[in-house]
A and B are shown apart, each in its own frame.
Chain A
């Protein structure tokens, strides 16, 4: 076998091995960084495994700061997170995600959780028959998910759940998990909810329990 033919076989093989090792290193680095950030609990592990099984890592970043504008150029929301791991299937895992929704250039709602996942396809929304189901970005907040009014918002509403999903473009939050809402002496729990933040309306699905403390 002559030398040029051997080289012709060796070069692509070495390139493939190099690519594999690079991606594997990036994958391990993402996991190691996550663990350093205190993400070693079961929940995150499940989320990470689930996402890794779908697709390979495409990118990894730390101290994420993103500003999203609507079609008219108005600031729609800001997204920040300690880290983001992006996969080839266009999903992203976030640690300590923080989203601020804006209304007329003023911060309106703050949403935080331990972890987050951004999904970008129609299957991300549970019910395709709903008006906002078509190809909407969806941010899933996992672990200590919380919604609070921003300083510029006169509302005192606060909402807590183990997990909920946000559709930023329509400012809707929904979940089938237990939720607690607190607002001006009202404290209500339920299972399953949808919050329409633009319309100031909350829908709770079932198992409603609540209380109201009269002002003294």
Chain B
């Protein structure tokens, strides 16, 4: 239940978007947390096409084109185009944005093999400035399937570390359940 309390605190601290349908889907299970080790893993990428790296205004931007695959531990993102943004001074990877038709996202939630998977036209992966939680934003024809739920929305904001859908922008459809997983 401490997970639920944390999640509710997180929700309370958020300014919900004006277009938010008014619900936030919460799906938790006792072992449904992303692999803690993922964040410590090396981020790797590959692309069949070209790549650009530029430095401007203290920001290093790395762009990858064509058949892009990004991984970090069990995290895997595929797409057509990816943009990595690093803070030059701190050497932190601030954000990864991937575009695709669609972008594919998957990650192992626990050591017993439960996974979360999603698709969208655009995906943003970054860490919350306050909590350092990993956040995945699925934007445009967003779909996400976790062990306990399936959701299709215009956009979905997913807290990876908590297996929590923090924000869902409509129109939405799908099934939410805290007990039984739904199919695609």
A interface residues, Cβ below 8 angstroms from B: 155, 181, 183-186, 188, 190, 199-215
Contacts and interface: CB of A to CB of B under 8 A. Distances in A.
Contacts of B64: 208
Interface stretch (B40-48, B101-109, B141-149, B151-159): B40-48
Interface string B18-58: 00000000000000000000011011111111111111100
Given A206-B49, A209-B46, A215 B54 contact: no
A210 B56 CA distance: 21
Chain B contact residues: helix, strand, loop or mixed: strand
B11 interface: no
Interface of B: 39-40, 42-56, 60, 62, 64, 84, 86, 88, 90-93
Given A202-B53, A215-B90, A186 B48 contact: no
Given A206-B48, A206-B50, A211 B43 contact: yes
Given A206-B48, A207-B48, A215 B91 contact: yes
The 4 A-B residue pairs with the shortest CB-CB distance in the complex, in nearest-first order: A204-B51, A208-B47, A202-B53, A200-B55
Contact of A211 (B44, B52, B91): B44
A95 B93 CA distance: 40
A203 B52 contact: yes
13 contacts: A188-B51, A188-B62, A200-B54, A200-B55, A202-B54, A208-B45, A208-B47, A212-B44, A214-B39, A214-B40, A214-B93, A215-B90, A215-B92
Contact of B62 (A155, A186, A206): A186
B54 A201 contact: yes
B50 A185 contact: no
B42 A184 contact: no
Contacts, number: 75
Given A184-B88, A208-B64, A215-B92, A203 B42 contact: no
A155 B60 CA distance: 11
Contact of A184 (B46, B49, B60): B60
Most chain B CB inside 10 Å of its own CB: which residue of A186, A188, A210, A213: A210
Chain A contact residues: helix, strand, loop or mixed: strand
A210 B50 contact: no
Given A184-B86, A184-B88, A186-B62, A212 B52 contact: no
Contacts of B90: 215
A202 B48 CA distance: 17
A202 B91 contact: no
A188 B86 CA distance: 14
Nearest to B41: A214
Given A213-B42, A214-B43, A208 B51 contact: yes
Nearest to A204: B51
B42 A212 contact: yes
B86 A186 contact: yes
B50 A205 contact: yes
Nearest to A207: B48
Contact of A208 (B43, B46, B55): B46
A88 B25 CA distance: 77
B51 A203 contact: yes
Contacts of B50: 203-206, 208
Contacts of A214: 39-40, 42-43, 92-93
A97 B88 CA distance: 31
A11 to B, nearest CB: 65
A210 B60 contact: no
B92 to A, nearest CB: 7
A206 B68 CA distance: 12
Contact of B43 (A184, A203, A212): A212
Nearest to A199: B54
A160 to B, nearest CB: 15
